[in-house]
Structure 1
Amino acid sequence: MRSEKSKECIFCQKSKEDRDSQNYILFRGAKNFVILNTYPYNPGHLMVAPYRHLPTLDEMTEEEMLEHFDLVRRCTRALTEAYKPDGFNIGINLGRVAGAGIEGHVHTHVVPRWNGDTNFVTVVSDFRVIPHALDATYAELRDKLA
């Protein structure tokens, strides 16, 4: 997925800007960052992405990989504290055929889940439900990832 104003990858563009709250970047590590998904499957749907534009996990350095998955763990802790989910979907879609919406820049989805949540439709169609305001989600999670 490319940004509307640029032909640059949305992760690359947002990570270079100094507008973290407007871009919903919750946390910046040395090699990776955490950003809210602006088309969330559930409230608190986060993504962890490296700063470098890499299409696969194979191209990540050991440092990038270790920090990446440490941030995934930190995301689950922050989401657990903020929202008390019953579980998580954590996944990486590599390639368009696998469902990658932002093809070419590897990233990990961290999606909190609750017993009885009804957002399964996002798995089988392009239908999106945004049950919680992104600004509220950003405010609730920002300090928990610091």
Structure 2
Amino acid sequence: MTGAEANTDRDLAGGLERLWTPHRMTYIAGEDRPEGGYDKPAGCPFCLAPSRPPQESLVVARGEHVFAVLNLYPYNAGHLLVCPYRHVADYTDLDGPETAELASFTQTAMRVIRKVSNAHGFNLGMNQGGVAGAGIAAHLHQHVVPRWGGDANFMAVIGRTKVLPQLLGDTRDLLTRAWPS
């Protein structure tokens, strides 16, 4: 069996290809979760990030109600999360100013990433609840994932390895410098 065969199969009913990525289970299973989990602010990395030193927190920009931080487990280089400072789980729990600033930060993140890395497109989204795929469901966060033609290449599909061309700290510095004051 080849590497490709080991990682894909065909859904007999619908003819869909499925790609299995078991290496993500370490993250999904939360093997590096803090004691007590993410549900309380004391263990929530999004609540802790703004108070940590910049190089450790990976915070790129700060607003009045939200901040942008690099994803510690990025799908692509420049994968940002826009988070409210307030520990809130659901989009419907945001107030008006938080909602407006979250939208504005998402737009700014897209502009900054385009400027520094010429992204061809973006995936934007929120996973609301654990059943919807949220790894940290207790604290709302909007994903801003830059995409380029060919970024899902053989390394990830066959080699089960994601190639990121930049260290997180270097990406943070680049995006922070380009973020408008």
Q: Please report the TM-score for the alignment, with normalisation by the length of structure 2.
A: 0.71
Pick from 93, 98, 101 the counterpart of residue 59 of structure 1.
93
SS at match of 1:102: coil
For the 8 Å contact 1:40–1:128, the answer to whether it is kept is no
Q: Any conservation in 1 of the 2:79–2:146 contact (CA below 8 Å)?
A: yes
State the SS of the aligned residue for 2:116: helix
Instruction: Tell me the equivalent position of 2:145.
Output: 111
2:49 alignment partner in structure 1: 14
Paired positions, count: 142
1:119–1:42 CA distance, 2 compared to 1 (3 A): farther
**In structure 1, distance between residues paired with 2:145 and 2:43:** 26
Matched, 1:4 2:39: no
Q: Name stretches of at least 5 consecutive residues in structure 2 with no aligned partner.
A: 1-29, 37-41
**Residue equivalent to 1:50:** 84
CA distances 1:72-125 after superposition (whole Å, capped 9, x unpaired): 000000000000011000010000111101111111000000011117998xxx
Moved over 6 A (4+): 119-122
Change (3 A) 1:22 1:39: same
Is 1:39 paired with 2:73?
Answer: yes
Q: What is the CA–CA distance in structure 1 between the aligned matches of 2:161 and 2:127, rounded to whole Å?
A: 18
Match of 2:162 in 1: 129
**2:132 counterpart of 1:98:** yes
Identity of aligned residues (%): 35
- In structure 1, how many angstroms separate the alpha carbons of the residues matched to 2:109 and 2:161? 22
| Match in the other structure for 1:74 | 108
Contact 1:3 1:9 in 2 (8 A): no
Q: Cα–Cα, structure 1 residues 119 and 96, in superposed 2: closer, same or farther, change >3 Å?
A: farther
Higher RCO (C-alpha 8 Å, min separation 6): 1
Alignment partner, residue 140 of structure 1 = 174
Query: CA–CA distance in 1 between the matches of 2:54 and 2:146?
Result: 22
Q: 1:12 to 1:120 in 2, by over 3 A?
A: farther
Which amino acid is 2:169 matched to? D
How far residue 130 of structure 1 moved from its aligned partner, in angstroms, is 5.1
**For the Cα contact (< 8 Å) 1:78–1:144, is it kept in 2?**
yes
State whether residues 14 and 23 of structure 1, in contact with CA within 8 Å, keep that contact through their aligned partners in structure 2: yes
- Mapped to 1, the partners of 2:113 and 2:143 lie a distance apart of 13
- The amino acid of 1:14's aligned partner reads A
**Contact 1:40–1:129 (Cα < 8 Å) also in 2:** no
User: Unaligned 5+ residue runs, structure 1?
Assistant: none
